[in-house]
Amino acid sequence: MIPHLTITSLSHHPSPLFIPLSPPPKPSQTPAYSLSSAPTADTGLQFRRKLIYLESLNVNSLKALRQNPQFRSSSLETLKSVENCLLSFGIPRYSLGRILDMYPQLLTFDPHLNLYPIFDFLINELQLPFPDVSKAIIRCPRLLVSSVDLQLRPTFLFLRKLGFVGEDKIDCHTSVLLVSSVENTLIPKMEFLESLGFLEFEVVNMVLRSPGLLTYSIENNFKPKVEYFVKEMKRDLKEIKQFPQYFSFSLEGKIKPRHRLLVEHGFSMPLRDMLKVSDGEFNVRLLRMRLQLIKQL
């Protein structure tokens, strides 16, 4: 069975001090107002400027206010310091809106306290090449709101012990696994695959070949696809061991339609040939098989 590694059982290695490439500008001093100034009007003006700023980033201001009440009292300079931080690590401005809209709490983050430690971890511990850092964030913005000590590093150590090293090391594509809970997500999925009759080392090999397995739902992906594979396709589960990418294809959109076409014409294909090709190539192969059958008659 997959060893149950608890979060506390994983060693913690404090990451080296990270010096940001482009530290956010310090907030400018608030200008002094004369006694004749109207504080309420000034506050309203500042608030409208923040809303306009969010609109320029295509961020839903109502959602931001609802999910992050601190936004109302934060300064515009604070908001822009977050933008400057993310831009300095190569995240394009057109991607900022989607990221900030997904996680409005980022709007009031202190870059030095909340964001630079994340980038420090990605660059110095995960050892992502600098151009890949932005790719990892764009692919999985949740990285920016995950604790290095409580989430990212423990999961990284578990995955590395599992075999994600060398050519299989975590990269900008598989860094999405870092936001998953070891105890509640990763281990249960591997144990489910073991329950199908696979040995532990076979499951590990499957996961290393197809890391996406660790991102799929047991209830919504694994179970219905295994049930269809066994009951309807009547095929040996060993084929899934050889082609774990089976779980990455849509059951309703690809697996069922192609299987039914094969059954209709009395044909069979290896999983790889059945699923990895485009619709056009699949139809061509099916036609060739039909023509070959006609020639044999």
Domain boundary among 132, 155, 179: 179
Q: Alpha-carbon distance 37 to 228, whole Å?
A: 72
Cβ–Cβ under 8 Å, residues 94 and 51: no
Domain boundary among 154, 179, 204: 179
Q: Is the domain of 205 the same as that of 164? A: no
Per-residue pLDDT tens for 63-72? Answer: 999 999 999 8
- Is residue 287 one of the residues assigned to a domain? yes
Q: Alpha-carbon distance 141 to 137, whole Å?
A: 5
- Identify the pLDDT of residue 296: 75
**Domain ranges, residue 150:** 43-179
Residue 66: CB atoms within 10 A of its CB come to 11
Residue 31 has pLDDT above 60, yes or no: no
> How far are the Cα atoms of 213, 215, 239 from residue 187, in angstroms, in the given order?
12, 12, 22
Cβ–Cβ under 8 Å, residues 286 and 261: yes
- Identify the pLDDT of residue 257: 96
Q: Is the domain of 192 the same as that of 121? A: no
Q: Of 290 and 199, which is predicted with more confidence?
A: 199
Per-residue pLDDT tens for 248-272? Answer: 999 999 999 999 999 999 999 999 9
Q: Identify the weakest region by mean pLDDT among 20-29, 39-48, 99-108, 118-127.
A: 20-29
CATH number at residue 281: 1.25.70.10
- Identify the pLDDT of residue 181: 97
How many domains, the chain? 2
Q: Is the domain of 149 the same as that of 218? A: no
